[in-house]
Amino acid sequence: MSLKRLLGSVCCVFLCMAWTSLSVWGYTLTCETQGSFPEMEKMVIKPATVSVNIESIGNHLYIKIEGPKLYTMFVNTLTTEEFKGQDLTSKTSIWVKRTHVTSREETEIKITRQPVTLLATKDMQRYGKNLKFVVTGPCQLPT
């Protein structure tokens, strides 16, 4: 067997091993949510149906809420120069928190398992104030 062919076979084996050891899964939930700014009780936010995409790639979780602009959020467990991610998952919930290193603004998404509900918060600048936007509501499992 030629050296070139042997190296090609070895590379193929290592790539296959790396691919099979990488754990990947994902789910999409549909949630009926209500958003609010607790600091501004009189402000009424229109309810929204949102999609919650949960993905796990290797040792990291990625959760994205897609819906109306105010409801859209993203968190992951990666730590970079710009963001610090934390996996706070327990037996009762999937929970990820993401903090901006410089501004200290936080975004959290927590999905309880029984019953399946969404609780999400994000810090934001609105109306000249630093506010926390809170999203809650029941979710439907994928069919």
Question: What does the alpha-carbon distance between residue 88 and residue 110 come to, in Å, rounded to a whole number?
Answer: 9
The two three-digit tokens of residue 111, written as one number: 């999905």
Q: 23-140: which CATH topology?
A: Lipocalin (2.40.128)
The mean predicted confidence, pLDDT, of the chain is 86
Alpha helices, DSSP H, located in 1-143: 3-21
Return the pLDDT at 79.
94
Q: Is the pTM of this model over 0.85?
A: no
- pLDDT per position as a tens digit, 85-130: 999 999 999 999 999 999 999 999 999 999 999 999 999 988 788 9
Residue that is written with structure tokens 């949102």 in the block: 50
The residue that leads in pLDDT, 104 or 11, is 104
The 3-state DSSP class for residue 60 equals: strand
The residue that leads in pLDDT, 25 or 108, is 108
Question: What does the alpha-carbon distance between residue 67 and residue 102 come to, in Å, rounded to a whole number?
Answer: 27
Q: What is the mean pLDDT of residues 32-59?
A: 94
The answer, yes or no, to whether residue 67 has pLDDT greater than 60, is yes
The two three-digit tokens of residue 123, written as one number: 């810090």
Question: What does the alpha-carbon distance between residue 22 and residue 131 come to, in Å, rounded to a whole number?
Answer: 39
